[in-house]
Structure 1
Amino acid sequence: MKYNSLFKNTLLFVGTSLFSVGIWSCNANNIKQSNKLDNTININQQEIKTGADNYQQYLPLLKDKKVGVLTNQSGLVNENNSVIHLVDFLLKNKIDVEKIYAPEHGFRGTADAGELIKDGKDTKTGIPIISLYGKNKKPNKEQLKDIDVMVFDLQDVGTRFYTYISSLHYLMEACAENNIEVIVLDRPNPNGAKVDGPVLEMAYKSFVGMHPIPVLHGMTIGEYAQMINGEKWLENGIQCKLKVIPITNYNKSMPYSLTVKPSPNLPNDQSINLYPSLCFFEGTNVSVGRGTNKQFQVYGSPNMRKTTFSFTPEPNEGAKDPMHNGRKCNGEDLSQIAFVEGIQLKWLLNAYQTSSKKEEFFNSFFTNLAGNKKLQSQIKQGLSEKQIKDTWITGIEDFKNTRKKYLIYKDEN
């Protein structure tokens, strides 16, 4: 079964109801969404049970407790071959859900990257929703009032700059300070066990990179939670009371397709596979296809030399005002290429080398994404991809040695 087939038939909770969802399109008529995907679901995927699906392990821990839930549209439970959102599932099982906490993109998962998400109320259940994005990334004591246990269930994609692991950090920190247990419902990492990229230097810590790890960390979010706790990365080295509900019948060598978009601009397997390589463009004047239906599968700019492929970004879901809105971008279509292994720098190097405005190519956000100033300097110096990646080796090996302590699943690394 191809990813698109799964995606179109997934039931997605959006606050008020469950509805059938298909891949959405935009007005950029020169871009057509391909049905061809190189990654198919491993036959064992149908046997995999996520942490959320292993509800026999966590429902008893929530009984007679006042529960907070940090989740979004990806928090789905498969109950007897029927898909239901975690919040609905908990209420159905007489669990007292006091509050819902929403990460970047919101509880429904439709907001733009970086868009301010307001607090509110779930119209279906009446449960208060507290945004953990914008200025309020860490829940305060009042927002945690009356909560006995916190359930965390977000689908991560295994990259340092995907902000759900930063939300996890702040939630764990707040719960540790308020003596609240955190239960993480683990989910597979669609980018598997691959570890790659420069290790973040703590001088460049930000919400898109809080810890000294490579861009691709090769861990599930449950394993990562254990690392945050074990390495004492929380404020003042505190540790929270943590329990991970593991995935069963899973190892990270299995190809794994997500059944729902983890965020608005990662619509399919191809985008998730290319995201670790193309997200660096977010710190440049090059578009990664926001405002098209091939987000993180194309790149281009009006400043790049003319190519046989071009696209014109226009506003759509998840990109109300995309970069180069309404302007023709010359670039490259990667939507049909074979899946890549690790991080590829060739597209970033090509875009810089062919830019007519090199002096405007980088913006200040690039340093946050890279986690250092070296990468920008290396690109400007004209270093090759191999020369740049060779400088990552020592940091990657040191990280792998640390990460071994926290792995739950079989790992080829």
Structure 2
Amino acid sequence: MRRIVRTLCSVIFILHGLSVGQVKTGADLLFEKYAHLVEGKRIGLVTNHSALLSNGKHLVDAISESRRARLVALFGPEHGVRGDAPAGKKIIDARDEKTGVPVYSLYGQINKPTPEMLKDVDVLLFDILDVGVRFYTFESTMSLAMEAAAEMGIPYIVLDRPNPIRGTWVEGFIRLDSLRSFVGLYPIPVAHGLTMGELATMINNEGWLKNGVRADLKVVKMEGWKRTMWFDETGVRWVKPSPNIAGLATAVVYPGTCFFEGTNVSEGRGTDRPFETIGAPFVAGEQLARELQSYGLPGVVFEPIKFTPRDIPGAASNPKHKSIECGGVFVKVVDRNVYEPVRTGIAMLSALKKLYPNDFQWRNSIDRLSGTPMVRLRIDAGEKPENIVAAWKVELAGFGKLREKYLLY
């Protein structure tokens, strides 16, 4: 009997090993194989709390403790180097409490490292976990830091990490040039299916940096990562990349439900499940759920809920409809492999406009988030969601050819 149990345990272990790999990130490989890139150099590092090595040590601490290079400057994106500032809160310059290294904010009055900040830097590194979505501000921080390095003649190294929602999923409109902003610096779709290293290579090689400047860019590629992998199949430790992307389930829906930041409907900030919880005081959850279920969207069901947004220290400060009970739906993904997040987000916007035309309102940011006024205008005109989706699929054929040139895996 014991032998049978041991055999079964072995089989389970083997099967688990086949389904969950151990991907080595660029940060781990920097120390294992590519230390020569930083040997004896003064290092600037653009990073946040997500830059963990496989042993659990933060990259900031690992470089600081290393005798092979000297950490001289840290650059923090939205939410800061330690990742504890709420969304949208401006970050000020300071010193890292643990290492004493100066920290320069790239989310506040300044979004791009200045020559003064970089004057003592020999090599500028970037290591931040992204979520594979155009309007996630870490992508803009990555590219602007690369632009600054290029202008100063400083080598720029991206330590690559997995795209949590796979390196295959591409969806949504390509951003129009007239809507260029910090939540959309480049003409790419909402979900681009690229890693940060691939995106950096595309931006650099396509001449999208200011004045067409080119960076001396090096990507330290991952080992063991496959494009079809969800983050929980990589074996890499999950660290929430920002306060309201607490888990992979949130990252899965985020490409579509972030659109609600551009409306008067709550995107769930101030709840325990932001971006999965959608609603407003004027919404009847049962009615909205029935409407959405009738659309036959793949891989998702909509559960009627009630919720009351509240302040959550470090995650939500004065969220939409604070302290007011809202009706709405919980976006429950039941098959992530067929779920289409942006299509689902468009359908939800359409349903709310249809059911509550006198209450539902757009905010100015909706066009920047969607990358086009077409979403807003077509929904206002009563067009069916599937017609809006069909419009971006034409655009994506051209982007697919461009994207193919920059795939590293």
Is the partner of 1:207 in helix, strand or coil?
coil
8 Å Cα contact 1:305/1:356 also seen in 2? no
CA shift at 1:366, angstroms?
Answer: 0.4
Out of 310, 315, 326, the residue aligned to residue 311 of structure 2 is 315
Query: 1:347 is aligned with what amino acid?
Result: M
3-state DSSP of counterpart to 2:172: coil
After superposition, what is the alpha-carbon deviation per residue over 1:252-280, rounded to whole angstroms, capped at 9, x for unaligned?
Answer: 10122361101000011111000001011
Aligned to 2:259, which of 280, 294, 311?
A: 280
AA of the residue aligned to 1:341:
E
CA distance in 1, matches of 2:17, 2:380: 41
- Give 1:168-317 correspondences, 5 Å limit: 168-192=142-166, 193-257=168-232, 259-305=238-284, 307=286, 308-316=304-312, 317=314
* Structure 1 alignment gaps of length 5 or more: 1-40
| Aligned position for 1:341 | 340
Q: Is this contact kept in 2: 1:206–1:368, CA < 8 A?
A: yes
Question: Could you say what secondary structure the match of 1:77 adopts?
Answer: coil
SS at match of 2:40: coil
1:98-144 CA-to-partner distances (Å, cap 9, x unmatched) read 01100001111121111110110111111010000122001111011
C-alpha distance in 1 between matches for 2:408 and 2:395: 22
User: For residues 252 and 139 of structure 1, what CA distance do their matches in structure 2 show?
Assistant: 32
**What are the superposed Cα offsets for residues 184-236 of structure 1, whole Å, 9 maximum, x if unpaired?**
00000011110110110010000000111110000000000000101110001
Alignment of 1:2-81 (within 5 A): 43=18, 45-54=20-29, 55-78=31-54
> 1:43 Cα shift?
4.3
Which AA in structure 2 matches 1:112?
P
Contact 1:194 1:342 in 2 (8 A): no
1:22 alignment counterpart: none
What one-letter code is carried by the residue in structure 2 that aligns with 1:349? S
| Higher CA-based Rg | 2
Query: Does the C-alpha gap of structure 1 residues 278 and 342 become closer, same or farther in structure 2, counting only changes over 3 Å?
Result: closer
Q: 1:42 to 1:164 in 2, by over 3 A?
A: farther
Counterpart CA distance in 2 for 1:254 and 1:370 is 26
Is the Cα contact below 8 Å between 2:254 and 2:341 reproduced in 1? Answer: no
Provide the rounded CA distance (Å) in 1 between the counterparts of 2:25 and 2:17.
15
Assess if the C-alpha contact under 8 Å between 2:76 and 2:105 holds in 1. Answer: yes
Q: Matched residues in 2 for 1:265 and 1:77: separation?
A: 22
Aligned partner letter, 2:172: G
Mapped partners of 1:336, 1:369: distance in 2: 22
1:374-413 alignment, distance < 5 Å: 374-409=374-409
Paired AA for residue 246 in structure 2: P
Contact 1:278 1:296 in 2 (8 A): yes
Partner of 2:3: none
- Give the counterpart letter for 1:182 in structure 2: Y
Query: Which of these residues, 299, 321, 335, is aligned with residue 324 of structure 1?
Result: 321
Contact 2:64/2:99 (<8 A) preserved? no
Q: Name the TM-score, length of structure 2 as normaliser.
A: 0.86
C-alpha RMSD of the superposition = 1.5
SS at match of 2:244: coil
- Counterpart CA distance in 2 for 1:283 and 1:161 is 12
Q: Give the distance between the partners of 2:162 and 2:220, measured in 1 at CA.
A: 12
Q: C-alpha displacement at 1:335, in angstroms?
A: 4.1
Deviation at 1:92, TM superposition (A): 2.2
Higher helix share: 2
Pair 1:97-2:71 in alignment? yes
Instruction: Give the secondary-structure state (helix, strand or coil) at the position aligned to 1:277.
Output: helix
Per the alignment, residue 364 of structure 2 pairs with 364
Cα deviation per residue 1:59-106 (whole Å; 9 max; x = unaligned)?
A: 22111111000100100011xxx2100011112222200011000011
**Maintained 8 Å contact 1:304/1:356:** no
Amino acid at match of 1:146: D
Name the structure 2 match of 1:161: 135
Hey, what does 2:92 align to over in structure 1?
118
CA distance in 1, matches of 2:196, 2:325: 38
Aligned partner of residue 84 in structure 1, secondary structure? coil
What percent of counterpart residues are identical? Answer: 39
1:408, distance to aligned residue in structure 2 (A): 0.4
Which residue identity is paired with 1:111? A
Q: Is the 8 A contact 2:92 2:108 kept in 1?
A: no
- Provide the C-alpha distance between the structure 1 equivalents of 2:37 and 2:333, rounded to a whole number of angstroms: 45
